[in-house]
Structure 1
Amino acid sequence: MADQPEFRGSALVVRGTSTVYDVSQGSADVRSGTRCTARTRFQIASVSKQFTAAAVMLLVERGAVALDDDVSRWIGDCPPSWRGITVHHLLTHTSGLGHWEDFPELDLTAWMPSDELLKVFRESAPKFPPGSGWYYSSPAYVLLAHLVERAGGDPYRQFLTRQIFEPLGLHDTFAGAPGDRSEVAAGHAEGAVTPSYELDVVALGAGDIWSTTGDLLRWDQALATGAFLGDASRRLMFTPHAPTGLGELDAYGYGWQTGRIAGQPVRCHSGDNAGFKAFNAWFPDLSAYVIVLTNHAEPNPATLTAHLTRAHLLGT
């Protein structure tokens, strides 16, 4: 990667059953001098949305949730302006709800009671009627996490652990604040540790998961092989439901973007939390996966993913 800035974090490229690139390097935490390894757990930021969408689809398969349910079935005190917003709209970012920059009163690094957070969301009018446009919305995925709690009967983090992480053997993956867990990276900005996003309430369902490249590979392969979720659910997750206008990644499914990278069809998602960036990409035509996790600002994981794809999958 001589033409790339120094990479700090973990990157993995797998094609079929062969690992063609696997690197972990740089500081996991500059305060302690800890180095990144393959077992270092990073915030995967908005790649977490893949798990939120999967949790919803599990509940759909069980008949507990319907994709055309109105949001008011699961979220109390919905304002009149939310009328007509469905689970499908939340999953595809077509609800009209805003993103973090549309809620300047929120401090993304500070805990707050969940009812206060939902109150902030309710007080902001949607940008367009549901289904009439596309606008990326992390708050929409926070609402989906609350739906999972109500329909699934467990706190969101426990639902993910019991229904997804443990059955798939994702032993290095968890959601929420890390507490005293080991092998957890610190986020960095300009060479120093930066305050983390609040993960237990504010980023719930939208960017709250920690993982490793190895666990994300197992996650991708479970979806690719049909080891997790039924065919209909997986087909819906990867259907390009809504055009995004975001260059080659031009459509959004349920927790996954679709389009092309380096000319190859891809199913993917990026992530960007304070001090962390991530990119998870599955290339179905190549039977290949490229996963990049970093706790530093550079290089951009999407750019690095394209480079790794060309260098290690396409030989260009």
Structure 2
Amino acid sequence: MLSQPSQSLRQELSDLAKAGESADLPGYALRVYSQGQLVYAHDTGYAGAGFSNLIHEDTTFELASLSKIFTALAVMQLQEQGLIELHAPVGTYIRGLPRAWQGVTVHHLLSHQSGLPDLMNQWSRRRVNGLDLKGMMAHFEHNVRLQFEPGTRAAYSNTNYIFLAELVAQVSGQDFGDYLKLHVFDPAGMASSTVSSERWRAMGVFHALPYAENSKIHEADYNLLGAINQKSSIHDLAKFVNALMDKQLIRPETLATMMVPHAVFEDGKRYGYGWYIGQLGGWAAMSSTLPAAGVGHTGRLGAYRTALYFNKQRNFQLLMLSNGGVKTEKLLVDFLQKTRTRLE
């Protein structure tokens, strides 16, 4: 039986959901757990603007920057096996990097302290369209200058996690998507998850399109992995958190290393390895109290808005995936604020 705070929260979340309903509501899936029990579940809206496919627990969404959690986990699994040294230069593991980047370590990439520019946000959408790792490497052959000396500052950059995905591939000898399937998705029971558009089409799962007729995000094809491009369902995300907490994917001490602050951004937000620490970061930023039991990440790409937050000390989690842009962004922030007020 749910505790009184959880029962009250369930009603408040239900009221928020009802207040946000509309005839053309984009899709979202929400789950809130406390003390191992499901407090609230809500799947609603449409997986695109065709008004034909309703969202359900196995509908997959673009995770956007939630993908970084999985990339960091893959790196730390290899570190556990002694295949990666966190403070070794990245060039030890990735062939063909500029000599000028010798000071950039794996730790710097994980914690956004490398000085590498964020090409995904600095370049135009037309320039990013179809960009792959080979094209990005070609750019850096002639543009080797870093934005700051590694380790002296922290600046969020998708480029860091794109290179980490390549690091996983080169160290493991496997395609990055194959690695995640074998070492994360399969052990956690995440049957609908993938980092390849071709794979989820072949898997026969239904994917939530951006809330528009066009399936492209920003009219662009995003081909780079590691920072974005993972597709998962709300059902799969819940399985992932359970597997993480049940020590199925990584040792507790390694997870603890990921969940302590390794960097502080200029706005005061703290970052571990793939996790914001003590606050949820970006547009859903909350408390910065430390030491923090709460960690999370958000994602924003085109119309997709995603969030994963959990508090180990209080034992609750909030998971939300959506394809509705600003419409569902406000709901996500409201759901998160209400959940943290009641349970944290």
| TM-score greater than 0.5 by the shorter chain | yes
Quote how far apart the aligned CAs of 1:311 are. 3.5
Q: Where does residue 133 of structure 1 map in the other structure?
A: 153
Alignment partner for residue 276 of structure 1, among 300, 304, 316? 304
Alignment partner for residue 221 of structure 1, among 237, 242, 247? 242
Q: 1:156 to 1:308 in 2, by over 3 A?
A: same
1:87-143, CA deviations, whole angstroms, 9 ceiling, x for partnerless residues?
0000000001111223348633x3245322222244252110000101111111111
Quote how far apart the aligned CAs of 1:174 are. 1.2
Q: 2:318 aligned with 1:290, yes or no? A: yes
Residue identity over aligned pairs, in percent, reads 26
Judge conservation of contact 1:46–1:271 (CA < 8 Å) in 2: yes
Alignment partner for residue 335 of structure 2, among 292, 304, 308? 308
| d(CA) in 2 for partners of 1:5, 1:135 | 35
Deviates more, 1:11-20 or 1:127-136: 11-20
Residue aligned with 1:174, SS: coil
| d(CA) in 2 for partners of 1:310, 1:274 | 23
Judge conservation of contact 2:87–2:107 (CA < 8 Å) in 1: yes
Runs of 5+ in structure 2 lacking a partner? Answer: 1-15, 281-285
Alignment partner for residue 182 of structure 2, among 162, 168, 173? 162
Judge conservation of contact 2:210–2:324 (CA < 8 Å) in 1: yes
Judge conservation of contact 2:100–2:144 (CA < 8 Å) in 1: no
Name the one with the larger helix percent: 2
Judge conservation of contact 1:13–1:291 (CA < 8 Å) in 2: yes
Q: Which has the larger radius of gyration?
A: 2
Judge conservation of contact 2:28–2:55 (CA < 8 Å) in 1: yes
Q: 1:308 to 1:80 in 2, by over 3 A?
A: same
Q: 2:221 aligned with 1:172, yes or no? A: no
Quote how far apart the aligned CAs of 1:198 are. 3.4
Name the one with the larger strand percent: 1
Residue aligned with 1:271, SS: strand
Q: 1:300 to 1:129 in 2, by over 3 A?
A: farther
Residue aligned with 2:180, SS: helix
Judge conservation of contact 1:10–1:293 (CA < 8 Å) in 2: yes
Q: Where does residue 64 of structure 1 map in the other structure?
A: 83
Residue aligned with 1:77, SS: coil
Q: 1:312 to 1:93 in 2, by over 3 A?
A: closer
Instruction: Output the amino acid matched with 2:259.
Output: F
Q: 1:85 to 1:19 in 2, by over 3 A?
A: same
Q: 2:166 aligned with 1:146, yes or no? A: yes
Q: Where does residue 9 of structure 2 map in the other structure?
A: none
Judge conservation of contact 2:87–2:105 (CA < 8 Å) in 1: yes
Q: 2:40 aligned with 1:21, yes or no? A: yes
Q: 1:246 to 1:222 in 2, by over 3 A?
A: farther
| d(CA) in 1 for partners of 2:130, 2:227 | 15
Q: 2:202 aligned with 1:182, yes or no? A: no
1:211-290 superposed matches below 5 A: 211-246=232-267, 250-260=269-279, 265=292, 266-290=294-318
Instruction: Output the amino acid matched with 2:325.
Output: A
Deviates more, 1:178-187 or 1:284-293: 178-187
Runs of 5+ in structure 1 lacking a partner? Answer: none
| d(CA) in 1 for partners of 2:132, 2:248 | 37
Count of residues in Structure 1 that have an aligned counterpart in Structure 2: 308
Quote how far apart the aligned CAs of 1:276 are. 1.1
Instruction: Output the amino acid matched with 2:335.
Output: L
Q: Where does residue 80 of structure 1 map in the other structure?
A: 99
1:28-73, CA deviations, whole angstroms, 9 ceiling, x for partnerless residues?
0223621111111001111000100010011111111110121112
Q: Where does residue 33 of structure 1 map in the other structure?
A: 52
